[in-house]
Structure 1
Amino acid sequence: MQEMKLTKTRIRAGMWEGVLSGSETRPELEVLLLERPMPGLRIEPVTGRDGEWAVQVPIPAEVLTDGVQTFLIQNKPSGDTLAHFTIITGVAMEDDLRAEVDLLRQELDMLKRAFRRHCLETMA
């Protein structure tokens, strides 16, 4: 089985866009912000390119607040993070350190949930 890869193409007019490759069937993806699923994800086949899918993620204005917002795009069945993007508002950033820390925090939360689920399954 070929590994899925999601590559960002651009952000334009409040829409993150990318191309997913490595899936012959329509992929099941989800977008999470602060561990909550975000609505509006669109996945369409790329014309003339088998196994490639155009992915569009709307960036709702109501989630943009001061600070760092990290969106995770995941393969829903496996929980694997295929891509992420970070929006920083309200404060000029000298470097991208806060965005990286926010991403690490979200990935650590995912690992903790997976570990707890694993422990529950092996105890049963």
Structure 2
Amino acid sequence: MSDLTLTKSRIIGGVWTGILTGHAGDDAPTLSLTHKGEPLTGLTSVRQDDGTWRVDAPIPADRIADGVQTFVIADTTGGDTLASFAFLAGESLAEDIRAEMDLMRDELDMLKRAFRRHCLETAVEE
């Protein structure tokens, strides 16, 4: 188990950025970025004044596609996964979300009717 902690800061301009803590020494930590088990290049670590490391993971445009695309950042020394992020895209996904929303609306309508019926049945007449 690694003592390293990688916390996401932001994603902007196609680059995932995080802050790594727990790495001792002046040498950059050995991290890897993978997508579907394939290693990707471009991951950088820059030491900050407070002793933490800024980690930048560029997201290759050719890896963004329909469905769910998950990227993993790991410590290559210990093999521990430190962070992951995913992109969801495509028409099939939109269909799934719309179907889920329709189901939730139907269930909410059913609950509202049941609650109103319960209120009418238990109302105390004065």
Name the TM-score, length of structure 1 as normaliser: 0.70
TM-aligned CA deviation for residue 80 of structure 1: 0.3
Q: Show structure 1 runs of 4+ deviating over 4 A.
A: none
For 1:97, the equivalent position in structure 2 comes to none
For 2:57, the equivalent position in structure 1 comes to 57
Distance across 2 between alignment mates of 1:62 and 1:74? 21
TM-aligned CA deviation for residue 77 of structure 1: 1.3
For 2:23, the equivalent position in structure 1 comes to 23
**Is 1:71 aligned to 2:71, yes or no?**
yes
Q: Which amino acid counterpart does residue 22 of structure 1 have in structure 2?
A: G
TM-aligned CA deviation for residue 3 of structure 1: 1.1
Q: Which amino acid counterpart does residue 63 of structure 1 have in structure 2?
A: R
TM-aligned CA deviation for residue 10 of structure 1: 0.3
- Using the aligned pairs only, state the percent identity: 40
For 1:112, the equivalent position in structure 2 comes to none
Q: Which amino acid counterpart does residue 43 of structure 2 have in structure 1?
A: L
- Taking the TM superposition and a 5 Å limit, the aligned residue runs for 1:5-24 are 5-24=5-24
For 1:4, the equivalent position in structure 2 comes to 4
Q: State how many pairs are aligned.
A: 91
Consecutive unaligned residues of structure 2, counting only runs of 5 or more, are 98-126
Distance across 1 between alignment mates of 2:66 and 2:76? 29
- Tell me the SS of whatever aligns to 1:62: helix
Superposed CA offset, 1:41-95 (max 9, x none): 011001x212x1000000111011100011010000111000000011113363x
Distance across 1 between alignment mates of 2:41 and 2:80? 19
Which structure has the larger Rg? 2
Name the TM-score, length of structure 2 as normaliser: 0.68
Distance across 2 between alignment mates of 1:3 and 1:40? 24
- Tell me the SS of whatever aligns to 1:56: strand
Distance across 1 between alignment mates of 2:24 and 2:78? 16
